[in-house]
Chains A and B, each alone.
Chain A
Amino acid sequence: MATETSGAGPADAGDSGALAGLRSRFEGPNTVGNSRGFWVGFLVAVLALAAYPFVVGSYQASRFSLFLVYAFLGLSLSVVWGYAGVLSFGQVVFFGVAGYTFGVVSVNFATPAGITGAFLVGVFGGALMAFVLGYFMIYGGVRNVYVTIITLVSTLVLHTFMAQTAGDEWTIGEAALGGFNGMPTIPNLAFGVGGASITFSSMTFYYLVLGLLVATYLGLRALVNSDYGRVMVAVREDEDRTRMFGYDVERVKLAVFTLGGALAGLSGVLYAAWGNYMSPGVFELTFASLPVIWVSVGGRKTLLGAVTATVGIEFLRNSLGGELAFVIVGVLLLVFILGLPGGIVPWVHRTYVEMRSDGATPEPPEASAEVSD
Chain B
Amino acid sequence: MVNGLNLLFQFLDSFAFIVLAAAGLAIIFGIMGVINLAHGEFIMVGAYATTLANIRAGLPLPAAMLVGVLVTAGFGLVVERVVISGTVPNALSQRFLGRKVIEPLYDRLADSMVATWGLSLIMVQGVRITLGNSLDQIGTPLGNIAYSGFSYSTYRVMLAAVALGVLALTYYVFTRTEYGMRARATIQDEDTARALGVDTERTYMTTFAIGSGLAGLTGALYAPTITMVPGLGSSFLVEAFVAVVVGGPSVVLGTTLAGGLLGAINATVSNVLGTFFGRIALLVTAIVMIRFLPDGITGFVETLRERRQEGA
Asked whether the complex places CB atoms of A and B closer than 8 A, the reply is yes
Interface of A toward B, CB cutoff 8 Å: 87, 136-137, 140-146, 148-150, 152-154, 156-157, 160-161, 163-164, 285-286, 289, 292-293, 296, 323-324, 326-327, 329-334, 337-339, 341
Q: Are B120 and A330 in contact, CB atoms less than 8 angstroms apart?
A: yes
Q: Is B122 an interface residue (CB 8 A)?
A: yes
Q: Is B117 an interface residue (CB 8 A)?
A: yes
Q: Give min CB distance, B159 to chain A, whole Å.
A: 23
**Chain A binding surface, main DSSP class:** helix
Q: Give complex CA distance A154, B101 in Å.
A: 35
Q: Are B125 and A324 in contact, CB atoms less than 8 angstroms apart?
A: yes
Known: A164-B276, A292-B117. A339 touches B245 (CB 8 A): no
B 283-295 binary contact with A (CB < 8 Å = 1; else 0): 1101100111010
Q: Give min CB distance, B156 to chain A, whole Å.
A: 21
Interface of B toward A, CB cutoff 8 Å: 83, 86, 89, 101-103, 105, 109-111, 113-115, 117-122, 124-126, 128-129, 234, 237-238, 241-242, 245, 274, 276-277, 279-280, 283-284, 286-287, 290-292, 294
Q: Are A148 and B276 in contact, CB atoms less than 8 angstroms apart?
A: no
Q: Are A154 and B109 in contact, CB atoms less than 8 angstroms apart?
A: no
Chain B hits for A146, CB < 8 A: 245, 290, 294
Q: Are B115 and A337 in contact, CB atoms less than 8 angstroms apart?
A: yes
Q: Give complex CA distance A148, B114 in Å.
A: 11
Known: A160-B283, A337-B118. A149 touches B290 (CB 8 A): yes
- The total of Cβ contacts below 8 Å across the A-B interface reads 111
Q: Give complex CA distance A131, B1 in Å.
A: 46
Q: Which of A142, A156, A324, A327 has the most CB of B within 10 A?
A: A156
Q: Given contacts A140-B291, A337-B115, list 18 more A-B pairs with CB under 8 A.
A: A137-B291, A145-B109, A149-B290, A153-B242, A157-B283, A285-B237, A286-B121, A293-B118, A296-B114, A323-B125, A326-B121, A326-B124, A329-B121, A330-B118, A331-B118, A333-B114, A334-B118, A338-B102
Q: Give min CB distance, B153 to chain A, whole Å.
A: 23
Chain B hits for A337, CB < 8 A: 111, 114-115, 118
Q: Are A330 and B122 in contact, CB atoms less than 8 angstroms apart?
A: yes
Chain B hits for A148, CB < 8 A: 109-110, 113
Chain A hits for B119, CB < 8 A: 330, 334
Q: Are A156 and B238 in contact, CB atoms less than 8 angstroms apart?
A: yes
Q: Give complex CA distance A145, B245 in Å.
A: 11
Known: A148-B110, A153-B287, A338-B86. A333 touches B294 (CB 8 A): no
Chain B hits for A323, CB < 8 A: 125, 128-129
Chain B hits for A324, CB < 8 A: 125, 129
Which chain A residue lies CB-closest to B129? Answer: A323
- Which of the residues B109, B129, B274, B286 comes within 8 Å of A153, measured between beta carbons? B286
Q: Give complex CA distance A160, B284 in Å.
A: 11
Chain B hits for A285, CB < 8 A: 234, 237
Q: Are A157 and B280 in contact, CB atoms less than 8 angstroms apart?
A: yes
Instruction: Kindly list the 4 A-B residue pairs having the minimum CB-CB distance in the complex, ordered from nearest.
Output: A330-B121, A333-B118, A330-B122, A334-B118
Chain A hits for B129, CB < 8 A: 323-324, 327
Q: Are A338 and B125 in contact, CB atoms less than 8 angstroms apart?
A: no
Which chain A residue lies CB-closest to B121? Answer: A330
Chain A hits for B234, CB < 8 A: 285
